Amino acid sequence: MARKSTTKKSSKTTKPKTTKSTTTKKETVKKETKKVDKTQELSDTFISEVGQKSAIANLEDEIVEKREKKATNKPKKGKAFKTFLIMLICLIVGAAASYCYFEVLNTNKDKDVVVKYKSKSAKFGYDIDSIAVKYLVDDYDYVGSFQVNLYNYLYSADEINVKDIEQDYLKLLAIKKADTDRDGVVSSIEFNDAVDYLFGGDIEFNNDSIKTDDILCAKYDYENGEYKKKDNECKGSSDLKLQRKILDVKEKRNKLEVTVAIAILDTNKDKVGKSLTFDEDGASVLGDELDGVKANDFVIDTSTDDLNKFVYTFKYSKENKNYYLENIKLDN
């Protein structure tokens, strides 16, 4: 009998085995990954350090630049002191040279006579020779029939305030100032403007007619808002004349002082007086006559020391930007 071959099959499934090559590859990959990470870390550290160093370098450059600018802008004390010292020496040398020239080299034995009243220029350009000063004084003269009558209105007292002068006289001053056309017609507006200019708003008048005697020889009717001059005959004559000379001009705070000398001439008697008075009949005659001085050849410039002096005080008006008369005082 033939034998049957009985071969047993394995019931277990064979599992694939992990080879050494696969394990080796994984370890290699891990090592390479670690190297890459380390390299990246080193690179980042290097970049960070470089950036920090660059920022520090830039900051240091800015600090150095600011210090250089500050040092450049800072004034050099030594140079400024030297400049000041040189300027001071130049001033001293210049002053010494001027003194030597004017006081030593230019000394004159025959010195000029000291003049009592010296010309003093004012801030507004007023001085003794200024035509503006003459006009300023003349603005307060109203010459009627006789020019010498100014003495009674302006110089008959030791002090005369404008407010105390006869109103008709002051109104005539305003009309004279306003009547630029010299036609004898002045509107109330022109009149009031002239009053403000001459008296700085310190004096007010009613617009009405002006009636005066033969001393001023002026008459104005007021109608329809206008002053109109009326004919007024002035009779008589006078041998008395008034002369005036501006001696000094001083400007003080908001004021101007003008000193004048006054002389009264009697051409009939050929005499000169310092003042004017009245005789028993009420006629005007010389007062305080000057000895040895004759009217016919009188020169006021040579006799100012012997004459009465009066000071006109003008006050400055900020509104009108001009000087106006405040008072007149005797100043001997």
Average pLDDT, the chain: 78
Q: How far apart are CA 288 and CA 303, in angstroms?
A: 14
Predicted pLDDT at 59: 58
When pLDDT is cut at 50, 70 and 90, the band that residue 57 belongs to is low
CB-based contacts of 291-298 (< 8 A; 24+ apart in sequence): 294/270, 295/241, 295/265, 295/266, 295/267, 295/269, 295/270, 295/271, 296/267, 296/270, 298/243, 298/263, 298/265, 298/272
pLDDT band at 45 (very low <50, low <70, confident <90, very high): low
Query: What's the confidence (pLDDT) of residue 281?
Result: 83
What is the C-alpha separation between 1 and 191, in angstroms, rounded? 178
Q: What is the pLDDT of residue 236?
A: 66
More confident residue, 83 or 76: 83
pLDDT digits (tens, 9 = 90+) for 155-189: 999 999 999 999 999 999 999 999 999 999 999 99
The confidence score (pLDDT) of residue 148 equals 86
Check residue 224 and give its pLDDT.
92
pLDDT of residue 17: 47
Is the CB of residue 203 less than 8 Å from the CB of residue 162? yes
Max mean pLDDT range (88-92, 93-97, 308-312) = 308-312
What pLDDT score does 71 carry? 54
DSSP result, 26-57: HHHHHHHHHHHHHHHHHHHHHHHHHHHHHHHH
The pLDDT of residue 33 is above 60: no
Evaluate if residue 77 carries a pLDDT over 60: no
pLDDT given at position 5 = 43
Beta strands in the chain (DSSP E): 159-161, 185-187, 210-211, 219-223, 226-229, 240-252, 255-266, 271-278, 284-289, 308-317, 322-330
Would the pLDDT of 126 be above 60? yes
- At residue 20, the pLDDT reads 47
pLDDT reading at 14 higher than 60: no
pLDDT band at residue 113 under the 50/70/90 scheme: very low
Higher-confidence position of 215 and 331: 331
**What confidence category does residue 120 fall into, taking pLDDT thresholds of 50, 70 and 90?**
very low
Backbone dihedral angles phi then psi of residue 282, each to the nearest 5 degrees: 85, 10
pTM: 0.63
The mean per-residue pLDDT over the stretch 11-24 comes to 47
